[in-house]
Amino acid sequence: MADIFLRDADWIITVDPQRRILTDGAIAIEGDRIVAIGKTKDLEPQYSSARRVISARGRVVLPGLIDCHIHTAFQLARGLADEVSAQKFLFERMYPYEGLLTEEENYWSGKLCVLELLRNGVTTFIDSGNYFPDQTARVVGETGVRCVVAKSAMDIAKSPFGALPERFLETTEQALERAEEVVQKLNGCHGGRVRAWFQFRGIPNSSDQLVTRLKELADRYHTGVQTHACFAKETVEACKTSFGVTEIERLERLGALGPNVLLVHSGWVSPHEVEFVRAHNCKIVAAPSSSLHNAYGDLLMGKIPEFLEMGLAVGLGSDHASSGIVDLVQEMFLVAGAYKEVRLNTSVMPPERVVEMATINGARCALWENEIGSLEAGKKADVTLFNTRMPQWQPLYNPVSNLVYSATGASVDTVICDGKILMEGRQLQTMDEEEIYRQVARLIPGILQKTKLEEKIKPKWPIF
Ligand SMILES: [Zn+2]
Q: How far is the CA of 221 from the centre of ligand 1 (A)?
A: 24
- CA 202 to CA 213: how far, in whole Å? 15
Q: How far is the CA of 69 from the centre of ligand 1 (A)?
A: 6
Q: Are 124 and 191 in contact (CB under 8 A)?
A: no
240-247 own/partner pairs: CB under 8 Å, 24+ apart: 241/160, 242/156, 242/159, 242/160, 242/204, 246/270, 246/273, 247/203, 247/204, 247/273
Q: How far is the CA of 403 from the centre of ligand 1 (A)?
A: 25
Q: How far is the CA of 331 from the centre of ligand 1 (A)?
A: 14
Mean pLDDT of all residues in the chain? Answer: 97
* Alpha-carbon distance values, 142 to 175, 359, 408, 430 (Å): 28, 23, 26, 7
CATH hierarchy code of domain 65-365: 3.20.20.140
Q: How far is the CA of 264 from the centre of ligand 1 (A)?
A: 7
* Alpha-carbon distance values, 429 to 126, 133, 239 (Å): 22, 24, 46
Helix (H) or strand (E) run with residue 427 in it: strand 427-428
Q: How far is the CA of 228 from the centre of ligand 1 (A)?
A: 6
Mean pLDDT lowest among 4-18, 24-38, 153-167: 153-167
Q: How far is the CA of 315 from the centre of ligand 1 (A)?
A: 13
Q: Are 173 and 201 in contact (CB under 8 A)?
A: no
pLDDT band, residue 138 (cuts 50/70/90): very high
Q: How far is the CA of 286 from the centre of ligand 1 (A)?
A: 10
pLDDT over 90 at 162, yes or no: no
pLDDT over 90 at 159, yes or no: no
pLDDT band, residue 11 (cuts 50/70/90): very high
pLDDT over 90 at 404, yes or no: yes
The percentage of residues in the chain with a pLDDT greater than 90, rounded to a whole number, is 97
CATH hierarchy code of domain 4-63+375-428: 2.30.40.10
Q: How far is the CA of 128 from the centre of ligand 1 (A)?
A: 6
- CA 299 to CA 338: how far, in whole Å? 7
Q: How far is the CA of 362 from the centre of ligand 1 (A)?
A: 16
Radius of gyration of the chain (CA): 21
Work out the average pLDDT over 296-307.
Answer: 97
* pLDDT for position 160: 86
pTM: 0.98
Encode pLDDT of 198-209 as tens digits. 999 999 999 999
Q: Which residue type does 2 have?
A: A
Q: How far is the CA of 90 from the centre of ligand 1 (A)?
A: 10
Q: How far is the CA of 295 from the centre of ligand 1 (A)?
A: 14
CA angle 304, 307, 309 (to 5 degrees): 110
pLDDT band, residue 312 (cuts 50/70/90): very high
Q: How far is the CA of 371 from the centre of ligand 1 (A)?
A: 25
pLDDT over 90 at 422, yes or no: yes
Residues carrying CATH 3.20.20.140, the chain: 65-365
Please, which residues have CB within 8 angstroms of residue 59's CB and are 6 or more apart in sequence? 9, 10, 11, 385, 386, 387, 388, 413, 414
* pLDDT for position 161: 85
Encode pLDDT of 53-112 as tens digits. 999 999 999 999 999 999 999 999 999 999 999 999 999 999 999 999 999 999 999 999
Q: How far is the CA of 257 from the centre of ligand 1 (A)?
A: 19
* pLDDT for position 307: 98
Encode pLDDT of 243-280 as tens digits. 999 999 999 999 999 999 999 999 999 999 999 999 99
Q: Are 47 and 23 in contact (CB under 8 A)?
A: no
- CA 338 to CA 295: how far, in whole Å? 12
Q: How far is the CA of 178 from the centre of ligand 1 (A)?
A: 20
Residues carrying CATH 2.30.40.10, the chain: 4-63+375-428
Encode pLDDT of 346-373 as tens digits. 999 999 999 999 999 999 999 999 999 9
